[in-house]
Chain A
Amino acid sequence: MDELLAGIEQLAFVRVLKASFVAYPIVNALHIMSIGALLTSVWLMDLRILGAFRSLPHAAFVALLRRTAFAAFAGALATGSLLFSVRASEYAAMPIFFAKMTLILLAGANFLVFMRRAKGGDEPAGGTVTIVAVLSLVLWTSVLFAGRFIGFLN
Chain B
Amino acid sequence: MQSPFKGLRSVTLAAAVILAAATVAYAHHGWSWTQDGFFELRGKITAIYIGNPHATLDVDAEGEVWRVDLAPPSRTIAAGFTEEVAKVGDEVTAIGHRSRDETEKLMKASRIIVNGKTYDVYPDRVPPA
A residues in contact (CB < 8 Å) with B: 17-21, 24, 28, 47, 50-52, 86-87, 90, 125-127, 130-131, 133-134, 137-138, 141-142, 145, 149, 151-154
Complex: chain B residue closest to A144, CB-CB: B18
**Least CB distance, A56 to chain B, in whole angstroms:** 14
One of A90, A130, A131, A142 near B18 (C-beta < 8 A): A142
Give bound CA distance, A145 to B25, whole Å: 12
Q: Is the CB of A50 within 8 A of B4?
A: yes
Given A130-B4, A133-B7, A152-B29, CB of A145 within 8 Å of CB of B22: yes
Name the one of B1, B27, B49, B74 contacting A21, with C-beta atoms under 8 angstroms: B74
The 4 closest A-B pairs by CB, nearest first: A51-B4, A50-B4, A18-B51, A24-B52
Q: Which of B13-70 contact A (CB under 8 A)?
A: 14-15, 18, 22, 25-29, 49-53, 67
Q: Does B104 contact A (CB under 8 A)?
A: yes
Report B27 CB to chain A, min CB distance, Å: 5
A137: B residues at CB distance < 8 A: 11
Interface, chain B (partner A; CB < 8 A): 1-4, 7-8, 10-11, 14-15, 18, 22, 25-29, 49-53, 67, 73-74, 104, 106
Do A154 and B52 touch (CB < 8 A)?
no
How far does the alpha carbon of A133 sit from the alpha carbon of B104 in the complex, in Å?
39
> In the assembled complex, which residues on chain A have CB atoms less than 8 Å from the CB atom of B50?
19
Which listed residue (A47, A125, A153) contacts B28, Cβ 8 A?
A153
Using known A-B contacts A145-B18, A154-B106, determine if residue A127 contacts B2 with beta carbons closer than 8 Å: yes
